Amino acid sequence: MPLTLNEMRDNCQKARTRMQQARQEHWAFGAFNLDDQATLKAVAQAAAEKQAPVLVEVSQGEVDDIGLDNVRDLVDNVKREFGVEMYVNLDHSPSVEAAKKGIEAGFEFIHIDVSQANHDASDQEIIAATSEVVEYARLTGALVESEPHYFGGSSNLHTETIDYEAIKQTFSTPEGAAAFITATGIDTFAAAIGNLHGKYPVPKQLDLELLQRIRDAIDCNISLHGGSGTPGHFFESAVKIGVTKVNINSDMRVAYRQTLDKVLADNPDEYSVSKLINKHVIPAVQAIVESKLDTFNSVGRAV
């Protein structure tokens, strides 16, 4: 059932308040990608077990597969069933029009990322699009997130090593972050400090000194994309510095796929795949989510 405008505004205001509390109390929301209903159930069960607030998020691919309104309904149903604190983020929305649809669907968090669709988008184009979404988000009070440049990698299991010299060229700077926030009015800045989309053969390394300088230079929320494959101590330090949202996708997808491959091979005569998913895959994904919530210092923070 669609939310009323007042319900959307109440949810968004609560989300804003909770993000402020996260920064003050030094914990972060885990933002976990929603590929299907099984993934959503795994996140909900982890949130219930850990009594932790969470975000579930969909990018354009999931939106095309599931539908914005269906995502909203699925999440609301799960919130009621499991009694969890859960919000929805539209992740890497590739256009102003797509972001507006997420706002109208009642998503509490909107990430506008025109550089995802156009890696060569100019600074002016990115600022103009982001500013338009910020203005439109006043309809519901949704929190808007963005960054001033393309963020590399992909949400997959990579075989190549990480070329840190190359990605350092795209690191955020304190001055650039401050200028972008001033120009756009965003609520959350997606920082690039060594985080990279995807899971790689070697652990990721975050530049925490740079993160501290960015935190000192800006007064809005900070998120970290590409959290998969990152040693937990980096998250523990980042949360202390003031990060309030960490995106996790590939770690969950790898656990899902590898577990499913194994149980299908072990059960060649079972044709009810949903039974295998419920019995084996969901617990495997849930374990990943729970381990992240531990490092985000969000356990026991749900209201």
Predicted TM-score (pTM) of this structure = 0.94
pLDDT, residue 166, reads: 75
Instruction: Give the position of tokens 């650039």.
Output: 176
Domain contains 300: no
pLDDT, residue 293, reads: 98
Identify residue 87 by its one-letter amino acid code: Y
Contact 144, 12 (CB under 8 A): no
Overall number of domains in the chain: 1
Active site residues: 91
pLDDT, residue 117, reads: 80
Domain contains 302: no
pLDDT, residue 116, reads: 79
pLDDT, residue 153, reads: 61
Domain contains 53: yes
**Residue 79 Cα to chain centre, angstroms:** 18
Domain containing residue 79: CATH number: 3.20.20.70
Residues 6+ apart with CB under 8 A from 227: 195, 235, 246, 247, 248, 251, 292
Domain contains 49: yes
pLDDT, residue 140, reads: 98
Identify which of 39, 42, 29, 36 has the alpha carbon closest to the alpha carbon of residue 86: 29
Tokens of 238: 């980042």
Write a three-state SS string for 39-62. HHHHHHHHHHHHCCCEEEEECHHH
The parent domain of residue 209 ranges over 5-295
Sign of the alpha-carbon dihedral angle for 115, 231, 62, 223: negative
Identify residue 280 by its one-letter amino acid code: H
Identify which of 27, 51, 47, 50 has the alpha carbon closest to the alpha carbon of residue 39: 47
Domain contains 258: yes
Domain contains 301: no
Q: How many residues does the chain have?
A: 303
pLDDT, residue 264, reads: 98
Rounded-to-integer distance, Cα 124 and Cα 126, Å: 6
pLDDT, residue 75, reads: 98
Domain contains 303: no
User: pLDDT 10s digit of each residue in the chain, 303 long?
Assistant: 789 999 999 999 999 999 999 999 999 999 999 999 999 999 999 999 999 999 999 999 999 999 999 999 999 999 999 999 999 999 999 999 999 999 999 999 999 999 878 888 899 999 999 999 999 999 999 999 999 876 666 666 777 776 777 777 788 999 999 999 999 999 999 999 988 776 676 678 899 999 999 999 999 999 999 888 899 999 999 999 999 999 999 999 999 999 999 999 999 999 999 999 999 999 999 999 999 999 999 999 999
Domain contains 31: yes
pLDDT, residue 251, reads: 94
What DSSP element (H or E) covers 93? Answer: strand 86-93
Number of H helices, E strands in the chain: 14, 10
Tokens of 278: 């419920």
